[in-house]
């Protein structure tokens, strides 16, 4: 299963990823229901989505133990979930959200292996990398953000 | 409804009555955006009101593709223009249009006049009025920051600056901090209604008819844009546009001077250097657009967004003859922050220089702009627009139809532009002939000739100074712009992508079948309706004019040495244009034309 990597310096803030995410998952165009969000201030913008943390706060906080790993992605068991939305509170990047139309907790599911946001991103700011490429890509991302270590 | 949000918000500010108009009433006949806005203006604006009367109506309409297809983020603003007292229209990109649709509205229609300065907040179904007395004289930046700090940070804001509040006729409506519906003085209309700002946030989203097909066509449109050779050039557009315009021989200098400005090359080079070396640029895009034609620009602690394609910065350096890019940047900051039409203001300031009120290329320009914004002294007269000012001072000025300030392209050598400037109903270059082959005749001759050949069957029609075939070109490009503005698509991408892809995307989104020929038919219909609006206000052939100074002016030096417009040839172009449109010799749509379009009185 692949992962998504964000090249934040390439993003132009066009919100195309939000458009296709909500369109392909929910069948409507609505950035509020998109599992990926473009955040930022003035010119600095980049998309962010569930990063599939190793030690996920959402999973730890869930009182019903409804969140678990399924293969490589974290999923919510809708039958167990009581919609207390604690997971949205603890996620440091806002990767979990509440779908107020179908009343479910939703998050990035990597579109079953073919992430639409990466396909549509005009600037290739979202990249699909294989499992083993993740540590290197994320390290690279951190270096871009904070600079090289001395 | 699919694709459309389904309803148009109607607000009467005098009584604070809020009503809904179903969009379905108009979609079949007028498509959306500019088409529906024109129809509403035609139905609701009485023929005898003036632009700044409370009975005038301000209409903001999105198109069916706004927020739905790539490069489609446009919102069209139509009202009676205070500059011309005829139909006025302008459009803007950004995120406002898309967010308005996400909130569940295809458009906003504003009537009446509030007793006190007011702001409107639209959060989905919740529409509230807020006192705007305290921020009435704020500039656009402070207004946006103020509104965002009053609650939701994620609202999109349409507002006017101090110029609009003072009813300055060059004031535009600013969408957030960057996108301006600037032409036609529509900001003054908003100011006359005592309406400072409209803030929108929406969570409802847009339903579409065929999800799979829409994704497919959107992907096709987007990849065509990305693969086009000019896609890479957008990144450096800010730096390259001034030299490119000069190479295309398009700018005019000062108050339409006959002499070529010797320092033009150097000024363009300085501007290029400014964007490449001095300022920091961060490319950005409007909603769902890959083109990144605007950027956040930071220079010495000041920052502002700038859209490259409208040529606002080149207008400042060429029309105001400013060699120093730092000064040009200061002028840009001031105009952008006050939400003013840069082309018009530059033309007015240049006109003031012939009166001896200001020295072009110096810091005095900034002082005069301040005077215009605050309506102090001579600024009070200049704030009424170039035609009224010329009547006041008795010195002839240059203007296009209805007395609107000229476009940033020199009109004298470009016959097609001259024709469009005379026959246009709403007086803006970006509503008529953006992408015209003559504009790129000297930069991309092969392409320009190919386009002209395709449309009128003759390569000669691409030559700027040639009168032949220009009427047909103007008809074609006007139609394309009407389709773009009505669908909610930006005109640059619309022109570079086959129209059948856009109509396919429209069909997938709305479930309404649409062929390319139908789009052209509707464009002709909307154009004729625009004409009827003005005919009702007394426009005929005699008012389809550009200022007399154009015909007297002979260019003395530079690439266009010896060029002038011939009045007879110009009138012939007009006749040709009328007949192509199905209007009579006097410029009035004939009964058959009205019948064909189903627009009988």
> Scanning the structure block, which residue is given the tokens 């004729």?
B528
Average pLDDT over residues B376-397: 94
Phi-psi region of A27 (alpha: psi -120 to 50; beta: other; left: phi over 0): left
User: Could you tell me which residues come within 8 angstroms of residue B233 by beta carbon, excluding any fewer than 6 positions away?
Assistant: B240
Which residues from chain A sit within 8 angstroms of residue B228, using beta carbons? none
Domains in chain B, number? 3
Measured CA to CA, the distance from residue B258 to residue B353 in angstroms comes to 15
Residues of chain B contacting A125 with CB distance shorter than 8 Å: none
What is the pLDDT at residue B308?
83
Residue predicted with more confidence, B509 or A100: B509
Residues within 8 A of B (CB atoms), A 101-120 only: 116, 119-120
Residues B196 and B270 in one domain: no
Task: Answer yes or no: is B159 within a domain.
Answer: yes
Claim to verify: residue B476 and residue B389 sit in the same structural domain: no
In A, minimum Cα distance to B203 occurs at A32
Of A133-137, B210-214, B579-583, where does mean pLDDT reach its minimum? Answer: A133-137
Residue-range definition of the domain harbouring residue B161: 7-201
CB contact under 8 A, A12 and B286: no
- Does some domain include residue B404? no
Distances (CA, A) of B45 to A132, B50, B80, B97, B197: 65, 10, 8, 23, 22
Q: Decide if B527 is inside a domain.
A: yes
Contacts of B8 (CB under 8 A, 6+ apart): B20, B21, B22, B23, B36, B40, B61, B105, B106, B107, B108, B109
Q: Which residues of A touch B283 (CB under 8 A)?
A: 12
CATH architecture, range A1-49+109-150 = 2-Layer Sandwich (3.30)
Q: Which helix (H) or strand (E) holds B199?
A: strand B195-201
Band the pLDDT of A137: cuts 50, 70, 90. Answer: low
CA separation for the pair B208, B357 (Å, rounded): 56
Cα–Cα dist B361/B378, whole Å: 19
B424-455 per-position pLDDT tens digit: 987 777 787 788 888 889 988 999 999 999 99
- Kindly state the helix (H) or strand (E) to which residue B283 belongs, with its residue range: strand B280-284
Q: Residue A9: what pLDDT?
A: 83
CA distances from B157 to A84, B149, B297 (A): 33, 12, 21
Position B601 pLDDT exceeds 70: no
| Angle at the Cα of B437 from the Cα atoms of B433 and B439, rounded to 5 degrees | 75
DSSP symbol at B274: I
State whether residue A76 is helix, strand or coil.
strand
Name A85's Cβ contacts closer than 8 Å, sequence gap at least 6.
A98, A105
Residues of B in contact with A12 (CB under 8 A): 283-285, 290, 292
CB contact residues (below 8 A), chain A span 43-72, against chain B: 43-45
Cβ of A23 within 8 Å of Cβ of B214? The answer is yes
Residue B191 domain-assigned (yes or no): yes
What digits encode the pLDDT tens for the residues B503-518?
999 999 999 999 999 9
Residue B166: inside a domain:
yes
User: CATH no. for residue B470?
Assistant: 1.10.599.10
Q: Is the Cβ–Cβ distance between B92 and B73 less than 8 Å? A: no
Q: Residue B581 pLDDT > 90, yes or no?
A: yes
- Is B223 within a domain? no
Say how far apart CA B590 and CA B579 lie, in whole Å: 10
Exposed/middle/buried for B266, CB within 10 Å: 0-12, 13-18, 19+? Answer: exposed
Q: Do A16 and B295 touch (CB under 8 A)?
A: no
Rg (CA), chain B: 22
Pairing of strands B7-12, B107-111: parallel
CB-CB under 8 Å, A42 with B296: yes
Do B377 and B457 lie in a common domain?
Answer: no
Nearest to B379 by CA among B355, B402, B362, B398: B355
Percent of chain B whose predicted confidence (pLDDT) is above 90: 86
The whole-model pTM stands at: 0.94
Question: End-to-end distance of chain B based on CA atoms, in angstroms?
Answer: 29
- Asked if A123 is an interface residue toward chain B (Cβ–Cβ < 8 A), one would say yes
Residue of A nearest to B65 (CA): A29
Residue B462 and residue B566 share a domain: yes
Q: A16 in contact with B at a CB cutoff of 8 Å?
A: yes
Q: Do residues B496 and B465 share a domain?
A: yes
- Residue A145's pLDDT band, with cuts at 50, 70 and 90, is low
Tokens 């409370």 sit on residue: B54
| Rounded Cα–Cα distance for residues B31 and B27 (Å) | 5
**pLDDT > 70: what percent of chain B?**
100
ipTM of this predicted structure:
0.88
**Residue B591 tokens, joined:** 């009964």
The size of chain A, in residues, is 150
Nearest Cβ partner for A28 among B207, B285, B287: B207
Q: How many CB pairs under 8 A join A and B?
A: 84
From the list B189, B175, B86, the residue with the least C-alpha distance to B399 is B86
How, if at all, do strands B126-131 and B156-159 pair? unpaired
Q: What is the mean pLDDT of chain B?
A: 93
**pLDDT tens per residue, range A104-122:** 999 999 998 889 999 999 9
Distance of residue B173 Cα from the nearest chain A Cα, in angstroms: 20
- pLDDT tens sequence across B273-332: 999 999 999 888 899 999 888 899 999 999 899 988 778 899 999 999 999 999 999 999
CATH number of A51-107: 3.30.70.20
A4 contacts A108 by C-beta, under 8 angstroms: yes
Note whether A94 contacts B: Cβ–Cβ < 8 A: no
Are residues B567 and B470 located together in one domain of the fold?
Answer: yes
For the stretch A53-94, pLDDT in tens is 878 899 999 999 999 988 878 899 999 999 999 999 999 888
Q: Give strand pairing partners of A69.
A: A74
Distance from CA of A80 to the nearest CA of B (A): 27
- Which region holds residue B20: left if phi is over 0, alpha if psi is between -120 and 50, else beta? beta
Tell me where in chain A the CATH 3.30.70.20 domain(s) lie: 1-49+109-150, 51-107
How confident is the model over B522-569, as pLDDT tens digits? 999 999 999 999 999 999 999 999 999 999 989 999 999 999 999 999
Alpha-carbon gap, residue B528 to B246, rounded angstroms? 35
Long-range contacts of B560-565 (CB under 8 A, 24+ apart): B560/B249, B560/B410, B560/B412, B560/B413, B563/B412, B563/B413, B563/B465, B564/B412, B565/B411, B565/B412, B565/B415, B565/B418
**Separation between Cα atoms, residue B598 and residue B601, nearest integer Å:** 9
Residue B512: strand, helix, or coil: coil
Q: How many other β-carbons are positioned within 10 Å of the β-carbon of residue B466?
A: 17
Q: Pick from B144, B153, B288, B294 the residue to mutate for testing the A interface (most A CBs within 10 Å).
A: B288
Q: Which two tokens stand for residue B544?
A: 């389809």
What is the rounded end-to-end Cα distance, in angstroms, of chain A? Answer: 35
Q: For residue range B401-411, what is the model confidence (pLDDT) as tens digits?
A: 989 998 888 88
Instruction: Pick B282's closest partner by Cβ from A23, A27, A43.
Output: A43
Cβ pair B436, B477 in contact under 8 A: yes
Residue with the two structure tokens 């005069």: B368
Q: How far apart are CA B27 and CA B511, in angstroms?
A: 12
**How close B61 comes to chain A (CA, Å)?**
18
CATH of the domain at B298: 1.10.569.10
- Taking only the tens place, the pLDDT of each residue in B176-191 is 888 999 999 999 999 9
Alpha-helical (H) ranges within B260-324 are 264-273, 312-319
DSSP H or E segment with residue B149: helix B140-149
Same domain as B443, residue B362: no
Contact B295, A43 (CB under 8 A): yes
Q: Which of A23, A30, A44 sits opposite B102 (nearest CB)?
A: A30
Residues B332 and B444 in one domain: no
Domain identity same for B511 and B583: yes
Model confidence at B112: pLDDT above 60: yes
Q: Token pair for residue A14?
A: 């066009």
Q: What is the pLDDT of residues A10-41, one digit of tens each?
A: 899 899 999 999 999 999 999 999 999 998 76
Q: For residue A146, what pLDDT is reported?
A: 65
The CATH number covering residue B99 comes to 3.60.9.10
Note whether B358 and B349 are within 8 A (CB). Answer: yes
Buried b (16+ CB within 10 A) or exposed e, B194-213: bbbbbbbbbbbbbbbebbee
Q: Note whether B387 and B426 are same-domain residues.
A: no
CA quadruple B452, B457, B463, B469: dihedral, nearest 10: -100
DSSP states along A78-104: TTT-----HHHHH-TT--EEEETTTTE
Query: Which pLDDT value is given to residue A140?
Result: 67
Q: Are residues B476 and B421 in the same domain?
A: yes
Asked whether B90 and B310 are in contact (CB, 8 A), the reply is no
Q: By three-state DSSP, how is residue B137 classified? A: coil
Helix axes B445-456 and B470-487, enclosed angle (nearest 10): 90
Query: Are residues B417 and B387 part of one domain?
Result: no
| pLDDT reported for residue A71 | 80
Give pLDDT tens digits for B3-62: 999 999 999 999 999 999 999 999 999 999 999 999 999 999 999 999 999 999 999 999
- In the predicted structure, residue A142 carries a pLDDT above the cut 90: no
Confidence check: pLDDT of B456 > 80: yes
Partnered with residue A96 across adjacent β-strands are: A107
Strands B118-123 and B195-201: parallel
B130 min Cα distance to partner chain A (Å) = 25
Residue A116: list chain B partners with CB under 8 A. 215
CA distance B90 to B158: 14
From the list B206, B290, B303, the residue facing A30 with the nearest CB is: B206
Q: Scanning every residue of chain A, which has its alpha carbon at the shortest distance from the alpha carbon of B281?
A: A43
Decide which of B343, B366, B394 is a domain's last residue.
B394
What is the DSSP pairing of strand B179-181 with strand B280-284?
unpaired
Nearest CA distance, A73 vs chain B (angstrom): 25
CA B277 to chain CA centroid, nearest Å: 30
User: What span, in angstroms and rounded, lies between the C-alpha atoms of B191 and B340?
Assistant: 13
The tokens for B59 are 């209409």
Residue B384 has a CB neighbour count (10 Å cut-off) of: 22
Question: Using CB atoms, which residue from A28, A31, A120 is nearest to B222?
Answer: A120
Q: Across the interface, do A120 and B219 touch by the CB < 8 Å criterion? A: yes
pLDDT of residue A51: 84
């Amino acid at each position: 299963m692949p992962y998504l990597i964000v090249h934040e310096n390439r993003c132009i803030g066009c919100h195309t990823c939000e458009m296709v995410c909500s369109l392909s998952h929910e069948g409507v165009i609505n950035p509020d229901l998109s599992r990926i969000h473009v955040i930022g201030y003035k010119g600095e913008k980049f998309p962010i989505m569930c990063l599939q943390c190793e030690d996920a706060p959402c999973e730890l906080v869930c009182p019903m133990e409804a969140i678990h790993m399924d293969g490589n992605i974290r999923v919510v068991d809708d039958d167990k979930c009581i919609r207390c939305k604690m997971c949205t509170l603890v996620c440091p990047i806002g990767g979990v959200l509440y779908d107020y139309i179908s009343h479910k907790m939703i998050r990035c599911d990597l579109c079953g292996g073919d992430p639409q946001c990466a396909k549509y991103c005009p600037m290739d700011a979202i990249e699909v990398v294989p499992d083993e490429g993740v540590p290197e890509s994320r390290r690279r991302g951190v270096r871009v953000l904070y600079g090289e270590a001395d | 409804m699919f694709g459309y949000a389904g309803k148009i918000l109607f607000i009467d500010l005098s009584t604070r009555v809020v009503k809904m108009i179903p969009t379905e009433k108009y979609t079949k006949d007028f498509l959306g955006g500019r088409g529906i806005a024109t129809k509403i203006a035609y139905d609701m604006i009485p023929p005898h009101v003036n632009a700044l009367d409370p009975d005038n109506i301000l209409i903001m309409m999105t198109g069916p593709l706004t927020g739905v297809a790539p490069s489609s983020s446009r919102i069209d603003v139509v009202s009676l223009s205070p500059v011309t007292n005829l139909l006025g229209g302008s459009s803007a990109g950004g995120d406002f249009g898309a967010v308005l649709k996400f909130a569940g509205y295809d458009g906003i229609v504003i009537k009446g006049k509030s007793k006190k300065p007011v702001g409107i907040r639209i959060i989905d179904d919740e529409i509230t009025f807020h006192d705007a007395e305290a921020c009435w004289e704020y500039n656009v930046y402070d207004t946006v920051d103020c509104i965002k700090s009053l609650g939701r940070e994620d609202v999109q804001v349409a507002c006017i600056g101090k110029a609009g509040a003072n009813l300055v006729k060059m004031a535009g409506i600013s969408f957030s901090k960057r996108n301006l519906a600037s032409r036609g003085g529509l900001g003054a209309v908003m100011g006359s209604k005592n309406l400072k700002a409209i803030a929108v946030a929406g969570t409802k989203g847009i339903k579409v008819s065929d999800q799979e097909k829409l994704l497919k066509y959107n992907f096709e449109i987007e990849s065509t844009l990305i693969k086009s050779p000019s896609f890479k050039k957008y990144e450096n557009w800010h730096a390259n546009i001034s030299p490119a315009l000069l190479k295309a021989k398009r700018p005019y200098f000062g108050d339409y001077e006959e002499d070529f400005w010797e320092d033009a090359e150097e000024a363009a080079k300085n501007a290029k250097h400014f964007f490449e070396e001095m300022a920091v640029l961060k490319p950005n895009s409007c909603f769902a657009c890959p083109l990144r034609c605007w950027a956040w620009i930071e220079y010495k602690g000041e920052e502002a967004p700038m859209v490259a394609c409208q040529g606002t910065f080149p207008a400042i350096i060429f029309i105001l003859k400013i060699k120093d890019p730092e000064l040009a940047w200061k002028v840009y900051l001031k105009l952008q922050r006050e939400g003013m039409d840069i082309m018009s203001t530059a033309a007015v300031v240049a006109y003031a220089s012939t009166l001896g009120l200001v020295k072009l290329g110096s810091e005095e320009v900034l002082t005069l702009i301040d005077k215009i914004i605050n309506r102090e002294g001579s600024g009070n007269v200049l704030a009424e627009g170039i035609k009224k000012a010329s009547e006041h001072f008795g010195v002839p000025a240059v203007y296009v139809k209805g007395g609107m300030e000229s476009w940033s392209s020199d009109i004298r050598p470009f016959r097609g532009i001259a024709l469009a400037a005379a026959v246009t109903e709403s007086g803006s270059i970006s509503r008529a002939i953006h992408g015209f082959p003559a504009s790129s005749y000297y930069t991309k001759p092969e392409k320009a000739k190919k386009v002209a050949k395709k449309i009128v069957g003759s390569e000669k029609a691409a030559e700027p100074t040639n009168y032949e075939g220009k009427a047909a070109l103007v008809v074609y490009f006007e139609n394309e712009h009407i389709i773009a503005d009505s669908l909610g698509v930006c005109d640059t991408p619309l022109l570079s992508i086959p129209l059948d892809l856009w109509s396919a995307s429209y069909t997938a989104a709305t479930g309404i079948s649409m062929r390319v020929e139908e789009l052209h038919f509707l464009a002709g219909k909307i154009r004729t309706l625009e004409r009827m609006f003005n005919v009702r206000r007394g426009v005929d052939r005699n008012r389809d004019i550009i200022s007399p100074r154009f015909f007297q002016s002979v260019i003395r030096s530079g690439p266009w040495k010896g060029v002038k417009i011939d009045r007879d040839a110009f009138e012939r172009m007009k006749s040709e244009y009328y007949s192509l449109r199905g209007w009579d010799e006097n410029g009035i749509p004939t009964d058959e034309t009205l019948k064909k379009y189903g627009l009988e009185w």
